[in-house]
């Protein structure tokens, strides 16, 4: 009888630990995942990138903030952040006007996520960087020129 009692306790302990581990996973913060739109990432002009993304008539908005340094010492790693205060934001993208490929990064934003994305992009030369936000099927932008002192993209 002693063996059956110990087996049951071990089973209950392992089941309880497993349940605790699963419930702990539900409290982890949700992460934004990069969206993959191959034609947009392959676009060589801003017009082609916008077309591949379905963007028509983007509007500059004070509710979109692009945070980045004025000067990037190394174009291979340029930190940028986009913050959208526009309700129902579903996507945030970064485009670089003078890069060989305009679209540098695109992130889908879920309904319960904060529309605030930070990443690092490559820049081949001094250029305007555009934060493009999709909200309620419309597109909004913020832009900033970043001076690059050491190239990172080549091409």
Q: How many CA atoms lie within 13 A of 1 on its CB side?
A: 0
> By mean pLDDT, which of 7-21, 75-89, 129-143 is the weakest?
7-21
Give the containing element (helix H, strand E) for 144.
Answer: strand 138-148
Categorize the per-residue pLDDT at 155 as very low, low, confident or very high, splitting at 50, 70 and 90: very low
Residue 84 phi/psi, 5-degree rounding, is -115, 125
For the entire predicted model, the pTM comes to: 0.74
Per-residue model confidence (pLDDT) at position 35: 56
Q: What mean pLDDT is predicted for residues 48-72?
A: 95
């Amino acid at each position: 009888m002693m063996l059956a009692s110990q087996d049951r306790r071990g089973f209950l302990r392992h089941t309880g630990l497993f349940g605790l581990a699963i419930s702990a996973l539900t409290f982890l913060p949700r992460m934004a995942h990069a969206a993959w739109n191959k034609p947009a990432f392959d676009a060589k002009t801003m017009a082609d990138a916008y077309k591949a993304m379905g963007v028509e008539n983007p509007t500059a908005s004070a509710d979109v903030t692009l945070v980045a340094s004025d000067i990037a010492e190394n174009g291979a790693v340029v930190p940028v952040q986009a913050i959208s205060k526009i309700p129902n934001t579903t996507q945030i993208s970064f485009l670089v006007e003078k890069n060989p490929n305009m679209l540098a990064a695109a992130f889908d934003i879920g309904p319960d996520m904060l529309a605030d994305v930070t990443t690092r992009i490559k820049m081949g030369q001094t250029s305007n960087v555009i934060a493009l936000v999709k909200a309620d099927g419309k597109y909004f932008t913020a832009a900033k020129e970043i001076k690059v002192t050491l190239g990172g993209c080549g091409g």
